[in-house]
Structure 1
Amino acid sequence: MSFNIGLSGIRAASSDLNITGNNIANVGTVGFKGSRAEFADVYAASVLGSGSNAQGSGVLLGDVAQLFTQGNIDFTQNSLDLAINGNGFFVTSNEGALSYTRAGFFGTDREGFITNNFGERLQGYGINQVTGQVNQGVQTDLRVDTRSANPQATTQIESTLNLNSTSVRPQPWQQAYDTYIDTNAVDPANPTPAEIAAAKGAAQGTFDPTNSATYNSSTSVNIYDSQGNQHVLTKYFVKTDANEWNMFALIDGRQVNLDGTLDGGGNLVGSNLLPTDPAFAPEPIPLTFNSVGELVGGSNTDLDFWEPLDSAGQPTGAESPAGFSLDLTGSTQYASSFGVTALSQDGFTTGELAGLEIDDTGLLVARYTNGQTKVQGQVVLATFANQQGLNPQGKTAWTQSAASGEPVVGAPTSGTLGSIQSGALEQSNVDLSEQLINMIVAQRNYQANAKTIQTQDTVTQTIINLR
């Protein structure tokens, strides 16, 4: 019996050495999870059970337990290198066969699918092409869309600025106003409201964007048409009275038709005229402030009737966006220098793919050369009720089994799932020092069990030699 006991001990020590050697061999394997040998004793038993003084019959390998503890995270230069900080596994598909891994070596194949080193496709949630939102719960192969980003026409400009309340009327404007009053007013010293309005109308014709003496201040912003062509909207401000200003809006230095008036040929009247054109007479947008400098009139203006032209003044074929508006809400008239305190517009030109980023919730975000970003999908993670029950398949991957239970799949950071670190890899969780000590212990156990067999052999030989 001692031979069998010693033999079982040798087999157990050999298994322990194999498991320890495998851990040591994979100490540099990304995403590898170390294992340990778990042994159990053996007792001989009959149908009626074993006696109270039963002797042991050796040892057996009860289980090879996988240790799913967190490995160290090392940072790399590849944004598609992914590490999981916490619980969960990446889900990969090999023509529909799913496997689960902690190894985050990912890149793209020639079709743009995100794959690991073995060509298995990373799973995630796709994007609803209508709403642009992540399709939560619909698992698919993640794919990087390398197409150019579509341009978006400007439909809203929001600008907050301050007009200097101490500014005086431009000299050409004042001269034209005075000339009209002196010439047409019944009593130039006390003109009527109608005469004042007429004089202001005559004075507004002195505005010339090429002559800075005809306006007080100006500011510009880039806007975009439906084809992504860039244009420049410039706003000019002319003080006309206390708490009153005229704003002129020109696009690419050309006047804009504000009321949509058409001529007999269906063309916008006075649209896109340059200052050199004799008919150039941009319509002013009146701005009114109250006694404490708050804008109370003219805060929102529609510029719907703009016709995009190229640098040569020819139609680009692009459409003027419907509902194009200029919002000055929050602007002020204080006794300080002119300045723009806030400016935004919602248009942009086309852009090429410049890079990819994956945040801690798994969102795959594409960056474009036009400064825009777009979510292209979301990486999913899976977890199991019994991780120890997963079947190891090699290549640092596991598959589901009856013992592991069904996978619970979801977005990173949801439920018990961990977060994702982009540009990083999780290293093996094997402690090399511990494994070297385990190897020495296994070697000692092997030698001790061999000694048991040797001693039993000596005893048996003694009995055989009896005469």
Structure 2
Amino acid sequence: MSYYTSLTGLKNAQTELNVISHNIANAETNGFKKSNTQFADIISSSIVTDPSLTVGIGSRVSVIAQDFNVGAIEQTGNALDIAIGGEGFFTTVSPKSGQTEYTRNGAFSVDGSGFIKNAQGARLQVFPSVGGVTNTAVHQDAQVAPTNAAGSAYASVTIDQEGMVVASYDDGSNVTLGTVALANFVAPSGLKQVGDSSWKVTGKSGEANFGAPGSGAFGPLNSGSLERSNVDIAEELVDLISAQRYFQANAKAIDTATQISQTVINLRT
């Protein structure tokens, strides 16, 4: 029994080491959210078992919980680098698959077709409104026209704290493209990680609730800034040492059980 009990500990320690390693590897990934491993004990008992004689048979990973605390905000000076100063996720849609993803990484740029997109090509979603958002159920790709109605060429695009996306043209005119669509969830820890600092909706997270930056629980936007990873290297290194000791202790318990078994076998022979 002691072999299997300690074996659960070894597996858990390996899982924790993997999670910590993943956190450390993404310490410089913009918009990344660290994860924490939580364990639960396993008890072997039945309705006739004396509670005072209940024996534990190890532990298991109960959950690998994502930590959505806001990371440090870094100034970049790029107009299309935007950080959310509070709750919310940017909404993006892949032009190839049509799938909607959510991210805290606000590093955007304009492609050759005028779409505002992230490094993976997913297009930033905006509410098609000018004088305030009235319908959060409708959002569309943010796209800059190469020329305005007067034929002047596109010059630049900016996004303010309220999420208004404004394109400027050579003749000095401005065109509002819409308001950045932010999403929030009842249980963000239930979101599915899909890589590239992005998440998808699951049954555990609940459906997305959309809103404009700076409204309700949604944080305002910080233009010219990016949200860094919320990984604390010092904390992760301490956890790494703890996980290593956890692994070594369980390995030692298996070694001790092996020695006891060997002693019993030698006595019988």
What corresponds to 1:357 in structure 2?
158
1:422 is the counterpart of 2:226: no
Aligned to 1:46: 46
The answer (yes or no) to whether the contact 1:145–1:376 under 8 Å persists in 2 is: no
1:123–1:50 distance in 2 versus 1, CA, 3 Å? farther
Mapped to 2, the partners of 1:376 and 1:421 lie a distance apart of 18
Q: Cα distance 1:429–1:50, how it changes in 2: closer, same or farther (>3 A)?
A: farther
Write the distance in 1 (CA, Å) between the matches of 2:216 and 2:227.
21
In structure 1, distance between residues paired with 2:73 and 2:49: 52
Q: Check whether the contact 1:126–1:134 (CA below 8 A) recurs between aligned residues.
A: no
> Gaps spanning 5+ residues in structure 2: where?
none
Q: Secondary structure at the match of 2:58?
A: strand
Partner of 2:100: helix, strand, or coil?
Answer: strand
2:93 equivalent to 1:106 = no
Query: Structure 1 residues 21 and 375, CA, compared in 2 at 3 Å: closer, same or farther?
Result: same
Maintained 8 Å contact 1:89/1:101: yes
Shift of 1:14: 0.6
Amino acid at match of 1:102: R
> How many Å apart are 1:353 and its aligned residue?
3.1
Distance in structure 2 (CA, Å) of the matches to 1:391 and 1:355: 35
Across the two proteins, how many residue pairs are aligned to each other? 264
Provide the TM-score with structure 1 as the length reference: 0.54
Q: C-alpha separation between the residues in 1 aligned to 2:15 and 2:133? A: 47
Pairing 1:1-400 to 2, within 5 Å after superposition: 1-46=1-46, 48=48, 51-95=51-95, 96-127=98-129, 133=131, 136-137=134-135, 138-148=138-148, 150=150, 351-400=152-201
Deviation, structure 1 residue 76 = 1.4
Q: Match for residue 240 of structure 1? A: none
Residue type at the aligned position of 2:101: S
Q: Distance in 1 between matches of 2:236 and 2:134?
A: 43
1:443 equivalent in structure 2: 244
- Conserved 8 A contact 1:149-1:353: no
2:194 touches 2:200 (CA, 8 Å); kept in 1?
Answer: yes
- Does the CA contact (< 8 Å) of 2:165 and 2:179 recur in 1? yes
Which string of whole-angstrom CA distances, capped at 9 and with x for unpartnered residues, describes residues 131-161 of structure 1?
x6566422111111231353xxxxxxxxxxx
Match of residue 205, structure 2, among 404, 407, 411? 404
Alpha-carbon displacement from aligned partner over 1:322-368 (angstroms, at most 9, x marks no partner): xxxxxxxxxxxxxxxxxxxxxxxxxxxx7543322100111001233
CA distance in 2, matches of 1:361, 1:367: 18
CA distance in 2, matches of 1:12, 1:366: 52
C-alpha contact 1:44 1:56 (8 A) present in aligned 2: yes
* Distance in 1 (alpha carbons) for counterparts of 2:100 and 2:52: 50
- Would the alpha carbon gap of residues 376 and 441 (structure 1) be closer, same or farther in structure 2, given more than 3 Å must change? same
RMSD, aligned α-carbons: 1.7
User: Hey, what's the Cα distance between the residues in 2 that align with 1:142 and 1:359?
Assistant: 14
Provide the rounded CA distance (Å) in 2 between the counterparts of 1:400 and 1:28.
Answer: 25
Is 1:431 aligned to residue 236 of structure 2? no
User: C-alpha separation between the residues in 1 aligned to 2:198 and 2:59?
Assistant: 30
Residues of 2 paired with 1:16 and 1:50: CA distance? 33
CA contact (8 A) 1:149 1:368 kept: no
Distance 1:68 1:391 in 2: 13
User: What letter matches 2:33 in structure 1?
Assistant: K
Cα distance in 1 for residues equivalent to 2:66 and 2:27:
14
SS at 1:31 equivalent = coil
Higher helix share: 2
Based on CA coordinates, which of the two structures has the bigger radius of gyration?
Answer: 1
1:50–1:35: structure 2 CA closer, same or farther, 3 Å change rule? farther
CA distance in 1, matches of 2:47, 2:26: 45
Query: Aligned-pair distance for 1:50?
Result: 6.5
Q: Is the 8 A contact 2:45 2:55 kept in 1?
A: no
Kindly provide the CA deviation profile for residues 165-203 of structure 1, in whole angstroms up to 9, marking residues without a partner as x: xxxxxxxxxxxxxxxxxxxxxxxxxxxxxxxxxxxxxxx
The answer on whether the counterparts of 2:94 and 2:100 sit within 8 Å (CA) in structure 1 is yes
How far has the Cα of 1:441 moved from its partner? 0.7
> Residues of 2 paired with 1:49 and 1:409: CA distance?
52
Report the Cα distance in structure 1 between the residues aligned to 2:78 and 2:121, rounded to whole angstroms.
Answer: 18
The one-letter amino acid paired with 1:358 is I
